[in-house]
Amino acid sequence: MIERRTVFKAALAAGAALVAAACSSETGGTAKPTGANSDGEGGGAQPVAKITAEPAADAKDVPVLKPAVLKVADGKLTECKLSADGGKEVKGDLSPDGLTWTSSEPLGYGKTYTYAAKATGSDGKPVEFKGSFATIAPAKQVRATLNPADNQTVGVAMPISVKFQSPVKNRAAVEKALSVKTDKDVEGAWGWLSDSQVDYRPKEYWPQNITVNVEAKLYGVDLGGGAYGKADVTTKFKIGRNQVVKVNTPDHQMRVYRGGSQVKSYPCANGLDGEVDRNTPNGTYIIMTREPTAVFDNARYGYTNVNKKWACRFSNHGEYIHENQDNAANIGKNNNSHGCVNLLEADAKDFYDSAMIGDPVEITGSKLSPPMASDVKDWNYSWAAWQGLGAK
């Protein structure tokens, strides 16, 4: 009898130890397991569910692009909630095996998020998990714009341009967030034209009649210096027919090519040959604007409020292709403009009607180098030099 009482007391002590172990937790939040089962036939205890979270409870400065994840071991998740300030639930997905829940939408800046999860362990008992974490609060949120805009059709030299409201320090992070997809293979690269502008251009002109999809997934991207991207931007546009304008300034002719074949030749007058600053500068440009009428002012050369028709701007340096019927005596014979390409009115209208934003304009034969202060100078770099403008 003494021996039997000793065994019975030992069994009671072992059972108490099992219950105490089942109530312990190693999770990052608050877990509340309710107990453990025996197999009913003297076997070992079944495992207690254990819920873990990433980011962990009480984490600070959590990146907003990192998904929140709840996992359970030795059980299955039965309820998973992640709520932002104010109680709005974050969307998420539970894996088919019930072991993992993952948020499926970006988190917000400067917010506190609260977990509320439940699981049932292999012991058949419920376990709860609660905890909170806080996301990063940027010193500055920077917006970006993307050009060309949605649904535009542009010429074969049109660059893709991303411009930021303020300078970017972390260029490599930005480039990782940018993607360009086309329905034909195109070799291209991103190049930084300034601290606040990065452009994409192909090695050669775009193939005609293709579609281009651009994604700039900048929300949550660390731009450096405490600044983060404010929002994603996207665009989908088309490349039109291949039309190229070529002007060799000594020839006094502006030639237009479609698909590689010359379709037009217009007599023209270009920048004054005898004064280099008035030359039409060499280089490859793009048609930037199409204006039925434009007003020209240049105090240096003594003219203001000069109105001209059918004006197509091709450089931020101030050069246009436009009508100048007043200069008809020199068109096709002498170069005497202040840098623009002068056409007769009928020819200017004919060209204007054919022109498209993004068409290349190639100028040769001048003594003036390309003006590199412009923010549209992509084609005035060799391909090797352009590649060198990417993030290091």
* Buried/exposed 147-181: b ≥16 CB within 10 Å, e otherwise: bbeeebebbbbbbbbbbbeeebebbebbbebbebe
DSSP 249: G
**Residue 207 and residue 292 share a domain:** no
Q: How many domains does the chain have?
A: 3
Dist CA 31 CA 25 (whole Å): 6
Residue 27 clears pLDDT 70, i.e. is over it: no
Residue 224 sits in the same domain as residue 255: no
User: Is residue 6 situated within a structural domain?
Assistant: no
| Residue the block writes with tokens 């039997």 | 4
pLDDT of residue 129: 98
Query: Taking 80 as the threshold, does the pLDDT of residue 322 lie above it?
Result: yes
Range of the domain at 145: 140-236
Identify the domain boundary among 185, 202, 236.
236
Q: Which of 80, 268, 312, 340 is catalytic?
A: 340
Catalytic residue at 340? Answer: yes
- For the beta sheet containing 341-343, the strands, ordered from the edge strand earlier in sequence to the opposite edge, are 289-298, 303-313, 320-323, 341-343
pLDDT in tens, 232-242: 999 999 999 99
248 & 358 share domain: yes
- Predicted confidence at residue 44, as pLDDT, reads 59
Which candidate in 252, 317, 322, 338 is catalytic? 322
Read off the pLDDT of each residue in 149-153 and give the average, rounded to a whole number. Answer: 97
pLDDT in tens, 276-305: 999 999 999 999 999 999 999 888 888 888
Q: Is residue 267 part of a domain?
A: yes
**9 compared with 123, residue with greater pLDDT:** 123
